[in-house]
Amino acid sequence: MKNRKILLAEKEIPTHWYNIVHDMPNKPLPPLHPGTLQPIGPEALAPLFPMELIKQEVSTEKWVEIPDEIRDVYALWRPTPMFRAYNLEKILDSPAKIYYKYEGVSPSGSHKPNTAVAQAYYNKQEGVKRITTETGAGQWGSALSFACNLFGIECEVYMVKISYQQKPYRKIMMNTWGAKVYASPTNLTEAGKKILSKNPNSPGSLGIAISEAVERAATDDETKYALGSVLNHVLMHQTVIGQEAVVQMEKAGDLPDVVVAPFGGGSNFAGISFPFLRLNLEEGKKIRCIASEPASCPKLTKGVFRYDFGDTVGMTPLLPMYTLGHTFVPAPIHAGGLRYHGAGVIVSQLLKDKLIEARAHDQLECFEAGVLFAKAEGIIPAPETNHAIATALQEVERCKREGKSETILIHLCGHGNFDLAAYENYLSGNLQKHEITQAEIDAAIALIDTPEIAA
């Protein structure tokens, strides 16, 4: 009998988060104030985030200790399992060994609770009564609802109205954990009222929901705001994934040649890949880390590296990032978690410095890969996750062509239990390709009016 799983004991839950900023040859450029174009300091973030998270956001320390209270909650599902994908290898007749690290065992079904629990904890420590956030399809909102409930913090989620109506299960999940979920735009904020006065039937957008959640936090001393990706501290919290994966690969007597992960804002990619990049930076290993993005939202493969806003309406500081422009509206693909115009600052700098790679896939190719995976390994992956599987299949083909027996590690960051309508769409032949032309990309980039970055 083969040994399919590589499991770790609870005492092997990492004790520290890994801060890759310490090891980066070129540090990330500072965020700028959009008015003065001067670097902003930590104090600018104080209305929105607790001080400990702001410290982490700007930290250059290599290791940040994880409080025992957080590790204790992590133990509800961590360490997560790693699998050798024997069935998939057989179906593909693969010369490459394939492993996958599975974050879908968390209560909300993805990697998101790794940072949600940490953020809820630090807010609780600083006496915060309530956390607000936005959510689209609901992965992040449900993770934060779960985390806030455990620490006795109120959670208010502004959920894009069209998602609220079309994806009720995620909303109910948040309610079950005690969160309040509002269909955004609401009448509870000035931003929401403004939108509704112009268009009472607005279906909402992530940009509007962010505005509502941020306004709520900025105007109430007892309320803070939380973000589920993009920011440095969020990426750092996710490194528990990759640290476990490094140990698991060692236990399997292996080391990946290639690590693949889906890419939205950067947090799940960072989570699995940064601890392997550390081996490259420290020990001169040559592990390739590939970020897999949708062909319809190709900021890494076709975007530009320059200062841009993190949100659609332009309320955040200017961040140095690969972007398609903050007003870019991605096609309505099913991988809602990857429909974001820009990439987190750290990941952008790593790509600029050619320390990581990126690849884009159409959603049809991704669902084909996802169904193949489900039939082989049982788990039905989230649409976002399918992007990494699509990249892995290409790498297997390359290994065949080159006659190489490499080791590929897939980040299976979430299950697709709440995304089966998307699979139905694919299986019934109704799923559309969402191609974007170079002309459309050029037009989007031409609209960007924020500062360029000197070479």
The site for a second copy (CB under 8 A) is made up of 1-5, 7, 9-11, 68, 71-72, 75-77, 83, 87, 105-107, 109, 146, 149-150, 168-169, 172-173, 175-178, 371, 374-375, 377-380, 417-418, 420-421, 423-424, 427
Output the smallest distance, CB 453 to a second copy, in A.
Answer: 42
Contacting residues for 198 by C-beta, under 8 A, at least 6 apart: none
Contacting residues for 87 by C-beta, under 8 A, at least 6 apart: 376, 377
Comparing CB distances to a second copy, the nearer of 80 and 312 is 80
Comparing CB distances to a second copy, the nearer of 173 and 289 is 173
Output the smallest distance, CB 155 to a second copy, in A.
Answer: 12
Comparing CB distances to a second copy, the nearer of 125 and 149 is 149
Tell me: cis bond preceding 451? Omega within 30 of 0 counts: no
Backbone angles phi, psi at 411, to 5 degrees: -90, 105
Sequential DSSP letters for 139-185 = HHHHHHHHHHHHHT-EEEEEEEHHHHHH-HHHHHHHHHTT-EEEEES
Output the smallest distance, CB 4 to a second copy, in A.
Answer: 4
Comparing CB distances to a second copy, the nearer of 379 and 448 is 379
Beta-sheet pairing, 97-102 with 130-135: unpaired
Output the smallest distance, CB 243 to a second copy, in A.
Answer: 17
Q: Are 237 and 118 in contact (CB under 8 A)?
A: yes
Output the smallest distance, CB 317 to a second copy, in A.
Answer: 34
Output the smallest distance, CB 16 to a second copy, in A.
Answer: 14
Output the smallest distance, CB 177 to a second copy, in A.
Answer: 6
Q: How many residues would you count in the chain?
A: 455
In degrees to the nearest 10, what's the CA dihedral of 273, 278, 284, 287? Answer: -10
Output the smallest distance, CB 328 to a second copy, in A.
Answer: 31
In degrees to the nearest 10, what's the CA dihedral of 117, 418, 166, 297? Answer: 80
Helix axes 383-402, 363-377, angle to 10 degrees: 80
Q: Which amino acid is it at 201?
A: N
| Kind plus residue range of the DSSP H or E element containing 319 | strand 318-323
Q: Are 23 and 60 in contact (CB under 8 A)?
A: no
Comparing CB distances to a second copy, the nearer of 346 and 380 is 380
Q: How far is residue 423's CA from residue 401's CA, in Å, rounded to a whole number?
A: 31
Comparing CB distances to a second copy, the nearer of 177 and 309 is 177
Output the smallest distance, CB 229 to a second copy, in A.
Answer: 21
Output the smallest distance, CB 416 to a second copy, in A.
Answer: 9
Comparing CB distances to a second copy, the nearer of 175 and 394 is 175
Comparing CB distances to a second copy, the nearer of 7 and 46 is 7
Comparing CB distances to a second copy, the nearer of 146 and 305 is 146
Tell me: cis bond preceding 185? Omega within 30 of 0 counts: yes
Angle ∠(445,449,452) on CA atoms, nearest 5: 80
Identify any residues that bridge with 321 across adjacent strands, giving them in sequence order: 306
Comparing CB distances to a second copy, the nearer of 46 and 75 is 75
**207 SS3 class:** helix
Output the smallest distance, CB 173 to a second copy, in A.
Answer: 6
Comparing CB distances to a second copy, the nearer of 150 and 295 is 150
Q: How far is residue 434's CA from residue 422's CA, in Å, rounded to a whole number?
A: 14
Q: How far is residue 314's CA from residue 34's CA, in Å, rounded to a whole number?
A: 9
